[in-house]
Structure 1
């Protein structure tokens, strides 16, 4: 065109159209991020305004959340830079707690938090790692001899079971089949599993845990395959030395862990007498043992009811599932006795006599563990070891 006014107008229109389009494309991600942040801020503000709703949403109280966030914040700040820049520590912790509390899929959480599923997956795993790194020493330290003695005193005070270092139990948790794994994680049901093995004290806290990535054998075989047994054999757990049973003038008895019918006898582990037609001595021993074993059953039940991801089929590899399970265990210990508002529906019920006969299926085997079991059984019939309530076993 020869008209300079027309040329200027055309140039202005072209720059206006294409410049606006370029600006819009550059601002779209920023606008999406701003919208998502506004969505979370509104959600977070509403939750904090209603304590009951917050507790139902995250399965912990607002006060418990604030304490946990304060402990984890330094670790959360050092995570993936891409996540750190765009997602606050509060949002990362809320997302992780929501996943652990409900077991929802990452796709479902994508709609809830307006984040990509891959981002949510990374947030959950990274936060679980921070929980393990920051809380392990505080809430589940490696026990020393003094810790073991304190646990034994507590068990004797609550259940009159002497020289007891804790109740051992295990649970199976479903996971996605690992690629090229064959039947390594295959259980009798059409799922793939890892096994959580836990030692529990008389306050339903986890003393130590091990997660075994095998689901093809019975719990007893899983137990023998775990690192805990390897540590028990050379006494790497700093177990205290033998001590006479309270009031007894007999030989010193070793400190032991108690377990149900799926575990085998060993010099550090006692299980029930097998069979159903038992004499009074064996009935009383099984009854007294059942009172102690019950703590392990209840602790695992409380754990899975609070963190329902353990009841779901985790859509992740066994290695990643281990990180999630470990985080749940530490959170259980962290809030045990502190965040009572979040545990109102998790208090255990006392065991009934219907629970105890289930402990009579342990395999017979001659070993030092059998002699140890007889030692405790005789003690429970002696004037020094008998208690009034043990006669319930005979009714």
Structure 2
């Protein structure tokens, strides 16, 4: 009769990215400086904190950093896990959890507002035209898409990814 030996859990060493990097490097890697990362973390800390009795749980700062790094670089989750000392599965769970928290209507409404009336829309259009000299547009952004199978090179932007340019 074979005896099953229980394998001990192995934990990777986690890095303290806020201490390790200065602001210019944080911006390069996470698209935010320390103040921005701390602000976002404090905004949602109560929603991201794991129960205290969990074994080697990930704190709110690390969850925000993992998500920001994933969004800023588009790196594979396995690579992000290696960077932070967590598994690919953990990166996946953290990104989903953090994005769910950040997309909560109470959070979004603090920073994003859409014009509700036609008059408000027209006022925004006039302000944008005065600012940028571009008529009839409130704002525009590039939305990442999968590379098309035909004329793929025609859809690469200056940041070297495939977007659709959308305007509102």
User: Which whole-Å CA distance do the structure 2 matches of 1:157 and 1:70 have between them?
Assistant: 36
| Residues 207-252 of structure 1 deviation map (CA, whole Å, 9 limit, x = unaligned) | xxxxxxxxxxxxxxxxxxxxxxxxxxxxxxxxxxxxxxxxxxxxxx
Kindly indicate whether residue 46 of structure 2 is the aligned counterpart of residue 54 of structure 1. Answer: no
Pick from 124, 127, 151: which aligns with 1:154?
127
Kindly indicate whether residue 98 of structure 2 is the aligned counterpart of residue 127 of structure 1. Answer: yes
Instruction: Tell me the equivalent position of 1:88.
Output: 59
User: Which whole-Å CA distance do the structure 2 matches of 1:89 and 1:101 have between them?
Assistant: 18
Structure 2 runs not aligned, ≥5 long:
163-168
Structure 1 residues 150, 108: CA separation in 2 closer, same or farther (over 3 Å shift)?
same
Pick from 96, 104, 113: which aligns with 2:84?
113
Deviation at 1:100, TM superposition (A): 0.9
Contact 1:149–1:165 (CA<8 Å) still a contact in 2?
no
Deviation at 1:169, TM superposition (A): 6.9
**Bigger RCO (CA 8 Å, 6+ sep):** 1
Structure 1 residues 170, 109: CA separation in 2 closer, same or farther (over 3 Å shift)?
closer
Deviation at 1:170, TM superposition (A): 6.5
Q: SS of the counterpart of 1:166?
A: coil
Count of residues paired in the alignment: 151
Instruction: Tell me the equivalent position of 1:40.
Output: 15
TM-score, length basis structure 2: 0.69
Structure 1 residues 85, 189: CA separation in 2 closer, same or farther (over 3 Å shift)?
farther
Pick from 44, 56, 65: which aligns with 1:72?
44
Instruction: Tell me the equivalent position of 2:166.
Output: none
List aligned pairs for 1:1-395, cutoff 5 A. 28-29=8-9, 32-33=10-11, 36=13, 39-41=14-16, 43-47=17-21, 50-77=22-49, 86-133=57-104, 134-145=106-117, 147-158=120-131, 159=133, 161=135, 164=136, 166=138, 171=143, 173-174=145-146, 187-189=148-150, 305=159, 311=161
| Residues 279-305 of structure 1 deviation map (CA, whole Å, 9 limit, x = unaligned) | xxxxxxxxxxxxxxxxxxxxxx7xx95
TM-score, length basis structure 1: 0.33
Deviation at 1:171, TM superposition (A): 4.4
- Pairwise CA RMSD: 3.7
Structure 1 runs not aligned, ≥5 long:
1-21, 176-186, 192-300, 313-395
